[in-house]
Amino acid sequence: MKIGYVILLTLFTAGSFLTTDAKAQDQNDKEHYETPKLVIGIMVDQMRYDYIYRYWDTFGEDGFKRLVNEGFSFDHARFDYMPTFTGPGHASVYTGTTPAVHGIIGNSWYLRGEDRTTYVTEDPTVSTVGSDSDEGEMSPRWLLSSTITDELIMHNNERSKVVGVSLKDRGSILPAGHIGDAYWFDYGNATMISSTFYMDELPEWAREFNARDLPSKYLSEPWETLLPIEEYTASIEDDNPYEGTFEGQDRPVFPHDLPAYAEISGNGILANTPFGDSYLMEFVYAAIEGEEMGQDEFTDMIALSLSSPDHIGHRYGPPAVEVQDTYLRLDREIARLLDYIDENFGKDEVLIFLTSDHGGAHNPEYLKDLNVPTGGYDRGSAREGLSERLEEIYGFDPVKSFRAIEIYLDREMIREQGVRLADVQQDVVDYLLETEGVAGALSSTAMRTADFTEHVRRNVQRGYNSSRSGDVMYWLDPQWFTGNRTIGTTHGSPYSYDTRAPLIWYGFNVPSGSSAAQVYISDIASTLANFLNIPYTSGNTGNPMNDYIFGK
């Protein structure tokens, strides 16, 4: 079989400068059985759809612009579920389905049988590989569906290699699936690690990478703006009241004295700088060369998740100079990657996709100052009020856990009291809808027995997993937040600022062009399956985008 490299870039963006009709550029000159030698999946954590065009004028010509101009972008790509968090985002891209099927309903959730909260990738049965910390006690044990990376490995009888790479454990583990290898950042030791779920010891190339101690290098100088700060016209003033600081820093302004802050907090602060992206890119090159990826007829895959934009976004918020500078530097890393592909494989031999795991909201204080509707939801008071209401109605309080998007009830207590669970759930829904800031709520009974088609309710239902989710799921009004948030930002809502993201495909015979067709994050895996001529994932519910790309 002749193998080529395909670069698939999935990028969610707010608009597109491209008007090329893909049908006019149907360059499907490869035989249907040909596949790329290498796939590089790029997920930029918390990348909003609009960032590409917001920063377009300050990007170079060879990074994001090259991906957009030479690749195929989807301008109406969305997440088709709630909540829009990191864990569900990565799981949905690589399983081709939503939390209702793959089971990753958040970055954490309540376990009814154990009366505790679990972290999305926690696994106390495995141990850390690469350091003496417990940061490697992780695996994909909670992931219910196969991933497209699993299917690739199985299809080629384990002759394809898959490497997941991220600063966050969940950003590498969920994409790497159940069979590939995953590596992530030990924030305490500032090294890349794995777990015994994947290997007994780090391969030599990974040990050599850690020995280079790149965090010390990247943190040896202050973080200055890449361009003169007056050129950051896509951002608000550097000195503003909406941003957080490093420990030891008085004001969140440039230059950021990284050596001083690393002295206080350790080299793990690398993740909170754009140099965390540079660090991961270096690891990707080491993995490609160390594992000899893309060197035979069996397609290999790198699943890269860039976590620093999320850390930076949470601290500073979308309009910050720091966020713009992060993307300008990432633009240069993308250009370097494309040059690396050209030199070592050739564009038509690699498929790259670049996308995001969720977007991000504007800071509520910033919105308030602009007279944009916003608010803070007092979850503590809401829980007290709910408990009082249920005590009045039933004489007991069955609330076990009141979380950011869902409420768990003590079902055993409800059964013992001889009360119908559906009635209690509906009373919870009714109470929530009476509280300021709540836009809607659905009971688990309703989500199991009805099929919702309205956009938000449909997304809530697709985020509901019958064995793991709460008894009631709820969502707030647009631009409302849990608590009194004054700095930075967050995400998780079913609204466009969290659910619209960039999506670009690049390389391996992908024509230049764009489409305004509605596609979803869960469509990526089946599109990859068609490119690679492999089975869909076990839980796949998405639809392939290949016909849009090739204009058929």
Q: Which residues are catalytic?
A: 86
What is the residue-wise DSSP string for 235-278?
Answer: S--SS-TT----TT-SSS-SSB-HHHHHHHH-GGGGGGSTHHHH
Backbone phi and psi for residue 304, each to the nearest 5 degrees, phi listed first: -105, 125
**152 CB-contact burial (10 Å; exposed 0-12 / middle 13-18 / buried 19+):** buried
- Nearest Cα neighbor of 273 from 227, 213, 315 is 315
What is the residue-wise DSSP string for 376-406?
Answer: EE-HHHHHHHHHHHHHHHHSS--EEEE-SSE
Q: How far apart are CA 216 and CA 165, in angstroms?
A: 20
Q: How far apart are CA 400 and CA 494, in angstroms?
A: 25
Burial 321-358 (b: 16+ CB within 10 A, else e): bbbbbbbbbbbbbbbebbeebeeebebbbbbbbbbbbb
Question: And the tokens for 257?
Answer: 């004295």
What is the residue-wise DSSP string for 482-520?
Answer: ES---SS-----SSHHHHB-B-EEEETTPPSEEE---EE
Looking at beta carbons, which pairs linking 491-494 to residues 24 or more positions away fall under 8 Å? 491/46, 491/84, 491/85, 491/358, 491/359, 491/360, 491/361, 492/82, 492/83, 492/84, 492/85, 492/358, 492/404, 492/405, 493/82, 493/83, 493/84, 493/361, 494/82, 494/84, 494/455, 494/456, 494/459, 494/460
In the chain, the amino acid numbered 324 is: Q
Q: How far apart are CA 44 and CA 251, in angstroms?
A: 27
- Report the length, in residues, of the chain: 552
| Paired strand residues for 41 | 303, 353
The secondary element (H helix, E strand) that includes residue 53 is helix 51-54
Question: And the tokens for 93?
Answer: 């891209």
